[in-house]
Amino acid sequence: MHEGQDPTSCFGQHPNAEISSQIADTTGLLMDIVSLQPLVVEGSPKEKTAMLLKKIKELAEIVPHAVDLGELKHKLSKDDNPLNTVLLQEMQRYNSLLGKVSKNLFDLERGVQGLSVITPDLNNVLEMMG
């Protein structure tokens, strides 16, 4: 028990409750420390960075271009099938997804190069790549 803390018995808890709390605090602290450690790198950091940048570039090259919704609307304007409305809505979602993928790849490339901060979400993507 630390100075200034009330004993667990004041709260109607068993003295082991403090031990459990300390174990949980320690586990959380250690998990935070481990999360700050660099990824396991085989080879030099430059080789790892080059490999990641190559993968990012390859992925960026295969991301399809967004669908031209204006052209699609024009093509579908002659057909009043209700499924065309659904198709247009799905194509908007598809374009949005493609935009997010492209932006994340761009942000990830900048992060690997050290030009921007890698967010936790981008770090998850980075871990999956390596």
pLDDT band at 22 (very low <50, low <70, confident <90, very high): confident
| Mean pLDDT of all residues in 45-70 | 90
Q: What is the pLDDT of residue 75?
A: 92
**Cα separation of 122 and 107, whole Å?**
8
Token duo for residue 71 = 């052209």
Q: Which residue has the higher pLDDT, 114 or 68?
A: 68
Summarised one tens digit per residue, pLDDT across range 24-53 is 888 888 777 766 666 555 667 788 888 889
Task: Read off the pTM.
Answer: 0.61
Q: Is the pLDDT of residue 3 over 60?
A: no
Q: What is the pLDDT of residue 8?
A: 67
